[in-house]
Chains A and B, each alone.
Chain A
Amino acid sequence: DTEVTQTPKHLVMGMTNKKSLKCEQHMGHRAMYWYKQKAKKPPELMFVYSYEKLSINESVPSRFSPECPNSSLLNLHLHALQPEDSALYLCASSPTSKKRNEQFFGPGTRLTVL
């Protein structure tokens, strides 16, 4: 299994809703990432988990809350989002060795906040 899966593919939510994005990989990677991407822009790093511990939080607002229940799963909990949070949310994973370190990306969740 060489893929990263993300659910849902599309999500529309109001500013008062609570929702979660899910990401899963079975490649044995011990680093997992959440990115936010606006159209025609590069991904912006939000969070990095390394060995199931949060190692980077790029000053992301608290309305985004990551969770890594185990080495295969990564969640992003959303609460009280703003319209400017509408974007493509990408999950990625990578090995943690120096020799193999490329990131593998999921297909993304297209989020629209009304």
Chain B
Amino acid sequence: AQTVTQSQPEMSVQEAETVTLSCTYDTSESDYYLFWYKQPPSRQMILVIRQEAYKQQNATENRFSVNFQKAAKSFSLKISDSQLGDAAMYFCAYRSVMDSNYQLIWGAGTKLIIKP
């Protein structure tokens, strides 16, 4: 069975600086998808970024980028130029290509605090 581990329960960063959130996963599959979701205190879960395992290029969405290391089973999220609105719980999630029920396997989450 696949597992997702986020080892940092809480991180803090000064506004305008860069922070990296870590995520590791365990799987025997070669094809899968990885996601980072953000959930602000207002509670709506929002997709931040998505990575397909067969793509070597790291995904990027504006200030958000990932460092995808397939062999190491690592999928970290880098947030550049941190803003107050980035404060949220961040969840890493895994989805098997083979799962016809489209289930997500979730990490425990990292609470990101932005210091003004």
Which residues in A have some Cβ–Cβ distance to B below 8 Å?
Answer: 31, 40-43, 45, 48, 50, 55-56, 88, 90, 92, 94, 96, 98, 101-108, 110
The residue on A at minimum CB distance from B104 is A103
Bits for B80-116, please: 1 = Cβ < 8 Å to A, else 0.
Answer: 0000000001010101010011111011110100000
**Cα–Cα distance between A96 and B102 once the two chains are bound (Å):** 8
Across chains A and B, which 5 residue pairs bring their CB atoms closest together, nearest first?
A: A42-B106, A105-B45, A107-B44, A31-B102, A56-B101
CB distance from A93 to the nearest CB of B (A): 10
Contacts of A110 in B (CB 8 A): 43
**Cα–Cα distance between A25 and B31 once the two chains are bound (Å):** 29
Q: How large is the interface on B (under 10, 10 to 19, 20 to 34, 35 or more residues)?
A: 20 to 34
**Cα–Cα distance between A18 and B86 once the two chains are bound (Å):** 38
B46 in contact with A105 (CB, 8 Å):
yes
Partner of A94, one of B37, B43, B97, B102: B102
Which residues in B have some Cβ–Cβ distance to A below 8 Å?
Answer: 33, 35, 37, 42-47, 50, 89, 91, 93, 95, 97, 100-104, 106-109, 111
B50 in contact with A102 (CB, 8 Å):
yes
Contact A90-B101, Cβ < 8 Å, known A42-B91, A42-B109: no
**Cα–Cα distance between A42 and B9 once the two chains are bound (Å):** 12
